[in-house]
A and B are shown apart, each in its own frame.
Chain A
Amino acid sequence: MAEVKLFRAWSSPFPLRIVWALEVKGIEYDMIYEDLSNKSSMLLQYNPVYKKVPVLLHKGKPISESLVILEYIEETWKSKTPSLLPGDPYQRAMARFWAKFGDDKILPLIWEAFIKQGKDQEEALIAAHENLKYLEVELRGKKFLGGETVGFADLTFGWLANLVSVFEEIAGVTLIDHEKFPLLLTWMKNFMDAPKIRETWPPRDKLINHFRALRETLIAKEPK
């Protein structure tokens, strides 16, 4: 039994970041799958504030919030390469800034563009593109945001690589087009080709079924 346990839900992008980090660093761990519609008492005990996945349990001590967990992994297993964060404090600050930007701006807007329709969808997409432009510029001259290998910020944006095409297929809309975002699309390809990434992510057809059903439920709930 590994001294590291990860509580996750199979479809959620947040615990997947942690899976990637642990795999890439070769850290042994046990996976505990949660049914988010019927959360275990253990999850609620370990994450009483948010009641969400991921939760990392290390030697019995829980840590929540994916970005906090990534930093913990980096600091606890110092000798395990590759490093997720660079050594220079300014570059570390930049990685943290981009990760926060991704979670605060890009993810919610792409999600909005996926689950809404009509004018709401259009507006969300415009806002998403306004923000993605910054990421496109940041990627100039870089294979990954972390440099030559996948880093902290790349893991945070990793959901783009496996979920955007799923969302596009379900909603029948192009979310990230190659004319406006060539560097971002190249980054997505480089990311999915990086070690341990594609082999650990959920199967595409399962994701399509899951998010299609979720989208239909959310659309049905919308006030007419």
Chain B
Amino acid sequence: MVEEVVVFGVWVSPYSRRVETALRLKGVPYKYIEEDLGNKSPLLLKYNPIHEKVPVLVHNGNPIAESLVILEYIDETCPQGFPILPKDPYERATARFGSKFIDDKCMPAITQACWGEGEASDKAVEEATELLMFMENELKENRFFGGERIGMVDIAANIVGFWLGTFEQVTGVELMTRDKFPNLTNWSIEFVRNNVIKENLPPREEMISYLRKKRSAR
């Protein structure tokens, strides 16, 4: 059977970019479908009826939703390629914990801190700072969360590595400063320089334009 891989995504979404990054790391060719979230395609609604969100990976007609679930699927389906998760069970647990932490805690706090208002936003700045500090201490002076090479946590942390900088530039909220977060700052520089990562990031100026438009539309 000819393998058919389709990714439903949105160019601004860190979540769909994670999936594309993983496929590129594994060298898996895929077809990309850009969704308009204001006018979702019937195919997207068919493949992800529960959440109606991107990303969705469709492999030979079988759909999978939720970016971290998709990353594990890609890793398990291509065990010979670039490793997304490490081999050792304890290291795998640490990677899963880290990725989940980014989605469950970091992302909401960062979003509220940068885009929220008033007291809720101030509180979120405090919280986001604390959460980023966990990441700073976990990273230590390693090149990547995955060690010498990028891994699942690095891919999941694309929000911190790229999107956070664009949020900060547009909103003026400062979260990840070099003096507070030297390890994370160095990591984010390495992250966006990585060959596969940089092919899968939206162009910075376009991202900033998009966020500026969104902000003034509020």
CB–CB A93/B64 < 8 A: yes
Q: Could you tell me if A96 and B93 are in contact, using CB atoms closer than 8 angstroms? A: no
Chain A interface main SS type = helix
Asked if A65 and B100 sit within 8 Å, CB to CB, the answer is yes
Contact B90 A63 (CB under 8 A): yes
The answer to the question of B72 belonging to the interface, with a C-beta cut-off of 8 Å to chain A, is yes
Q: Which residues does chain A contribute within 8 Å of B195, judged by CB atoms?
A: none
- Residues of B within 8 Å of A68, CB to CB, are 93, 96-97, 100
Docked CA distance A4–B212 (Å): 52
Tell me whether A92 and B73 are in contact (CB under 8 A). yes
A49 lies within 8 A of chain B by Cβ: yes
Residue A221 CB within 8 A of the other chain: no
Question: A31 CB to closest chain B CB, in angstroms?
Answer: 20
Which of A70-78, A177-185, A199-207 is found at the contact surface with chain B?
Answer: A70-78
> Is the pair B97, A100 in contact by a Cβ cutoff of 8 Å?
no
Given A68-B100, A92-B73, A92-B76, does the pair A97, B93 have CB atoms closer than 8 Å?
no
A97 to B69: give the CA distance in the assembly, Å: 7
Contact, CB under 8 Å: B89 / A89: no
Extra inter-chain contacts (11) besides given A67-B100, A92-B73, A97-B66, CB under 8 Å: A65-B100, A68-B100, A71-B92, A72-B89, A72-B90, A72-B93, A90-B62, A93-B64, A93-B69, A93-B73, A96-B69
Distance, CA A105 to CA B205, complexed state (A): 36
Asked if B77 lies at the interface with its beta carbon under 8 angstroms from chain A, I say: yes
B137: nearest residue on chain A (CB-CB)? Answer: A48
Is A69 among interface residues, defined by CB-CB distance under 8 A?
A: yes
In the complex, chain A residues whose CB is within 8 Å of the CB of B77:
89
**Residue pair A96, B72 in contact (C-beta under 8 Å):** yes
The answer to the question of A33 belonging to the interface, with a C-beta cut-off of 8 Å to chain B, is no
Question: Counting CB contacts under 8 A, is B114 at the interface?
Answer: no
Can you report 25 A-B residue pairs in the complex whose CB atoms are below 8 A from each other?
Answer: A49-B101, A49-B105, A63-B90, A67-B96, A68-B93, A68-B96, A68-B97, A71-B92, A71-B93, A72-B92, A72-B93, A75-B89, A75-B92, A89-B73, A92-B72, A92-B73, A92-B76, A93-B69, A93-B73, A94-B64, A97-B66, A100-B69, A101-B50, A131-B50, A134-B49
Known contacts A63-B90, A68-B96, A76-B89; is-contact A90 B101 (Cβ 8 Å): no
CA distance in complex: A217, B59 (Å): 49
Given contacts A63-B90, A89-B76, A89-B77, contact A71 B96 (CB under 8 A): yes
Rounded to whole angstroms, the CA-CA distance of A93 and B50 in the bound complex is: 15
How far does the Cβ of B72 sit from chain A's closest Cβ, in whole Å? 7
Whether A64 is near chain B, meaning CB under 8 Å from some CB there, is: yes
Give the chain A neighbours of B96 by CB distance below 8 A. 65, 67-68, 71
Q: How many residues does chain A have at the interface if contact means C-beta atoms less than 8 Å apart?
A: 25
Interface: B197 (CB within 8 A): no
Q: Taking the complex as formed, is A61 at the interface, i.e. its CB lies under 8 A from any CB of chain B? A: yes
* Contact call B69/A61, Cβ cutoff below 8 A: no
> In the complex, what residues of B have CB within 8 A of residue A49's CB?
101, 105, 134
Kindly state the separation between the CA atoms of A58 and B100 in the bound complex, as whole angstroms. 21
Name the A residues within 8 Å of B89 (CB-CB). Answer: 72, 75-76
Chain A residue with Cβ nearest B138: A49
Q: In this assembly, does B124 line the interface, its C-beta being within 8 Å of a C-beta of chain A?
A: no
Please tell me if the beta carbons of B97 and A90 are within 8 angstroms of each other in the complex.
no
Q: Is the CB of A90 within 8 A of B64?
A: yes
Contact pattern, A 23-63, Cβ under 8 Å of B = 1, otherwise 0: 00000000000000000000000001100000000100101
What is the CA–CA distance of A105 and B193 in the complex, to the nearest angstrom?
37
| In the bound complex, CA of A55 to CA of B84 (Å) | 25
- B128 interface residue (CB < 8 Å to A): no
Name the residue on A nearest B78 (C-beta).
Answer: A89
Docked CA distance A75–B70 (Å): 19
